[in-house]
């Protein structure tokens, strides 16, 4: 009898790949979505409603839930924190409580933005103190806390922190990396004045790699369910491809054989008066995954994008 996985946010950039990874491994996989749900593969459920969370778990009866659904925009979280908290914290609490009471493994996708990212501090180990610089990071940190609190008694909650993600997208604005391609095209106008950050160090990571890690973590933790309390509860995964957003744009421009006449390199860092402060370097240590024997190698950023964008090259 095959295991069943439930993936929240299954219509999103990461959720689609997690769904595909479990399916390729022979699992019965059910996704959750809202506006883009397509039953029966992706069920419609509002995770902000605890009764719908209960219904979803009762209907799908999974062995593992991978919680990808989130408001991942720092700017949106700052503009409407009350609404963002409903999905980033309260929905996480309901899922963690519901899975824990049913003996289901719960994998919560978190972010490197839980760390302050001050110069000289990275890489951060999984047990390093968190101190987010913006509301998005605070909410994801709070999601970690409720995950571990609700699953403390049986140890069935796992936090997986990841950095900025890229991958196959239905539209470029699904990813803070993919959307930079649009900026490159806009910058073909010498008068465009596209300001691009060349300060914060980012570690763009492919969604297919993250999905593989989710699968391997689920297999490992379910296989060792009898001693699960001894396994680490906070895991971290990242690529080692370090670059700023401006440097990513340079790579895209090189692949597409385009200049960047309308792009302005911005090395100023955070505007001290700006509403959303972003960390400088939140590079994650992957030591806990390595200790579990999980392969943390990732696809090469440049190679993946050369394949992806090759058809558009002039």
Give 220-260 pLDDT, tens digit per residue.
999 999 999 999 999 999 999 999 999 999 999 999 999 99
> Would residue 207 be called left, alpha or beta, if left means φ above 0 and alpha means ψ between -120 and 50 degrees?
alpha
| Cα 133-134-139 angle, rounded to 5 deg | 115
Please state, in angstroms and rounded to a whole number, the distance separating the CA atoms of residues 180 and 183: 5
> For the segment 1-49, what is each residue's pLDDT rounded down to a tens digit?
579 999 999 999 999 999 999 999 999 999 999 988 888 889 999 999 9
Kindly list the catalytic residues.
136
Q: How far apart are the first and last CA of the chain?
A: 51
Percent of the chain past pLDDT 70, that is, above it, reads: 98
Give the pLDDT confidence score for residue 2 in this predicted structure. 79
Encode burial over 153-176: b for 16+ CB neighbours within 10 A, e otherwise.
ebbbbbbbbbbbbbbbbeebebbb
Cα-flanking dihedrals φ and ψ of residue 7, to 5°? -115, 115
């Amino acid at each position: 009898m095959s295991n069943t996985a439930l993936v929240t946010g299954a219509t999103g950039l990461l959720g689609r790949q997690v769904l595909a990874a479990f399916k390729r491994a022979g699992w019965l996989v059910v996704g959750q979505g809202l506006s883009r749900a397509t039953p029966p593969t992706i069920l419609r459920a509002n995770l902000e409603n605890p009764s719908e969370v209960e219904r979803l778990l009762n209907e799908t009866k999974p062995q593992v839930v991978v919680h990808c659904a989130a408001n991942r925009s720092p700017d949106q979280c700052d503009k409407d924190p009350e609404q963002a908290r409903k999905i980033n914290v309260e929905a996480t609490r309901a899922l963690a409580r519901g899975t824990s009471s049913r003996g289901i493994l719960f994998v919560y996708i978190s972010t490197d933005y839980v760390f302050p990212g001050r110069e000289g501090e990275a890489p951060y180990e999984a047990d390093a103190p968190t101190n987010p610089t913006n509301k998005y990071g605070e909410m994801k940190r709070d999601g970690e806390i409720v995950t571990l609190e609700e699953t403390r008694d049986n140890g069935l909650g796992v936090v997986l922190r990841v950095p900025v993600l890229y991958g196959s997208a239905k539209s470029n604005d699904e990813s803070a990396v993919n959307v930079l391609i649009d900026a490159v095209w806009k910058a073909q106008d010498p008068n465009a004045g596209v300001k691009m950050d060349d300060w914060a160090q980012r570690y763009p990571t492919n969604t297919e790699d993250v999905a593989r890690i989710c699968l391997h973590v689920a297999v490992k933790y379910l296989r060792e369910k009898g001693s699960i309390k001894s396994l680490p509860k906070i895991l971290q995964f990242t690529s080692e491809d370090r670059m700023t957003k401006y440097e990513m744009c340079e790579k895209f421009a090189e692949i597409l054989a385009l200049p960047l006449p309308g792009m302005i390199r911005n090395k100023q860092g955070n505007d001290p008066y700006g509403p959303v402060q972003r960390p400088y370097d939140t590079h994650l240590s992957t030591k806990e995954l390595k200790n579990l024997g999980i392969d943390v190698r990732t696809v090469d950023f440049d190679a993946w994008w050369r394949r992806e964008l090759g058809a558009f090259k002039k």
